[in-house]
Chains A and B, each alone.
Chain A
Amino acid sequence: SAVISQKPSRDICQRGTSLTIQCQVDSQVTMMFWYRQQPGQSLTLIATANQGSEATYESGFVIDKFPISRPNLTFSTLTVSNMSPEDSSIYLCSVEEGALGGYTFGSGTRLTVV
């Protein structure tokens, strides 16, 4: 199965600044997903990133707030822009390995906005 390197693992950021989270995969994958882990252990899908096309955002998430890059089949970034304390959360990337393949999750980024 794929191995994902997600960075940073944690950060404390000032209100109004931006943080870019990176996920590097050790193999080529078509679809990468970005999630936010919320209290109560629920996972919310932010967007799906396919290489060579615009990311698809879920309801409640917009590109201006969470711009995503997918420059190739092994890498993606999620930026949390103009941060507020409400953005404090754990952010996860994930990949699906083929239509019937398994899933791999990154190790997560714990973001605290002060």
Chain B
Amino acid sequence: ETGVTQTPRHLVMGMTNKKSLKCEQHLGHNAMYWYKQSAKKPLELMFVYNFKEQTENNSVPSRFSPECPNSSHLFLHLHTLQPEDSALYLCASSQESQRNIQYFGAGTRLSVL
């Protein structure tokens, strides 16, 4: 699949579990983003990585831990989440020089029980 691929598409986890979300982009981009999409709320930017370096962390709780091993892969490690963290988590990528033109993955629907 070309573009931005996210796995898994759906995830159910308990509050004590540890899981990871994966994002991979095949567009040759060098900036990657994590967004949280909750019902009736704007897309919330969580993290931004440029050339594997984290450049933004929008006051995200430490129970969310991002990792960017290279420009094509982005992970979001989850531990001790809360039910209110249930949401659609979207990954996006862009060229660093054009951060306003982003391509999104299909998202991971996360449910925290």
Q: Are A and B associated in one complex?
A: no
Residues of chain A having any CB pair with chain B under 8 Å: none
Residues of chain B having any CB pair with chain A under 8 Å: none
